[in-house]
Amino acid sequence: MLPPPAHNNLIDHLCRQSGLDPVSADRLVQEVLAFYDETTAAFIRRRHYELQKAGLANATIYRLIGEELPLRRFSPESLSERQIRRTIYG
């Protein structure tokens, strides 16, 4: 299967720079796009789970998530710790 035309320049660049074949380069592009398409709520829940598994306390997790949110590709509105907790626990 050939990559879609919209990403041909990027895929060609990745193939030249990394030695990836076009199918693998396309798969990589699709993974990166999917990563950045994550919603704010999905990001918060995923990061909470990852940081919890790393053994961090919720107070630290909330602060870290609050610091990471503006660094996302599409920066969401600022969320308070309470809003972050409500996103995680409903």
List pLDDT tens digits, range 34-63.
888 888 888 999 999 999 999 999 999 999
60-87: b (≥16 Cβ within 10 Å) or e: ebbeebbeebeeeeeeeeebeeeebbeb
Q: What is the dihedral of CA 11, 14, 20, 24, to 10 degrees?
A: -40
Name the token pair of 22. 């076009």
Query: What would the pLDDT profile of 57-70 be if each residue is shown by its tens digit?
Result: 999 999 999 999 98
For residues 88 and 5, give the distance between their C-alpha atoms in angstroms, rounded to a whole number: 38
